[in-house]
Amino acid sequence: MHPLLADFSSAHFYNGCLASHPAPEDRVQPPGFPWPQIGVPLAFVAVRPHAIGHESSSQHSTSFQNIPEAMIVAQTVERLVAAGVAPGDIGVMTPYSAQVNLLNQLLNERLMISCPEAAGMVECSSVDAFQGREKEVVVISTVRSNTMAALGFLTDWRRLNVAITRARSGMIIVGDRDTLLVDRYWGRLLAFIGSKQAILLEQDLLDHFAAEPLQSFGRMALRRSNANFLLDPASGLKVGDRIQ
């Protein structure tokens, strides 16, 4: 795990004793995403203010989904795959089963068009399902977005700890900052991310995607390299590089 990705959990949940390996310079910043800071493999994508209240649940379910967040996550994962990150190295995580179902649908619909060979290969599941396992890149959808400061079991610090310690090389969290800030630990995490200047507004991310069409990343990247982008010395990748 990149040391920066371990810092928050180490300080707040492990009394400073959480170790990480290897050194930061040996961890390549995953390609395909506009990381706010070079060398900082961490980002929080803040949803638009008008998306507050966009969480929803069906009449017959207590689970929640958030369509705007799911669309951002699907586009983000599609870019990572197109840039050469192996689909099996990406984990998409969310605390709600309804969001898991929505994300699987949207993500695989996009991949079937842009990278058909990757469809069905990106694992998207609940936080609990990832416990004890890691992925090179983790994308988290927090789902809750409301004006009532209702977070449900997002307030469980143990689930938060599991979620943010699954990534080895890069972690992207998508959520409603205003809703999350009401919780003590989420508020501290957002402050930590802010201190690294790693908060990215949703519109800025969408503008970046619009300015750099998907095809410029090369749809054959997955075929050219099935190796882990971190372990392929022939790739010549450096921090912040893209596969062309």
Structure tokens at 231: 């372990």
Quote the DSSP letter at residue 37: S
pLDDT of residue 224: 43
Could you give phi then psi for residue 10, rounded to 5 degrees? -60, -45
Superfamily of domain 3-15+37-58+65-212: P-loop containing nucleotide triphosphate hydrolases (3.40.50.300)
pLDDT of residue 232: 46
CA separation, residue 154 to residues 21, 117, 127 (Å): 28, 34, 10
Q: Render 172-190 in DSSP notation, one character per residue.
A: EEEE-HHHHTTSHHHHHHH
pLDDT of residue 147: 86
pLDDT of residue 56: 80
**How far is Cα 188 from Cα 193, in angstroms, rounded to an integer?**
9
Instruction: Tell me the angle at which helices 202-211 and 67-82 cross, rounded to the nearest 10 degrees.
Output: 40
Structure tokens at 122: 């990106």
Sketch the domain layout of the chain as residue ranges: 3-15+37-58+65-212
pLDDT of residue 213: 81
Supply the pTM of this predicted model. Answer: 0.84
Q: What is the mean pLDDT of each run of 10 residues along the chain (244 residues)?
A: 72 62 69 94 87 68 90 96 94 95 96 92 94 93 90 90 90 95 94 96 94 64 47 41 36
Sign of CA dihedral 65, 77, 178, 160: positive
**How far is Cα 88 from Cα 227, in angstroms, rounded to an integer?**
10
pLDDT of residue 153: 86
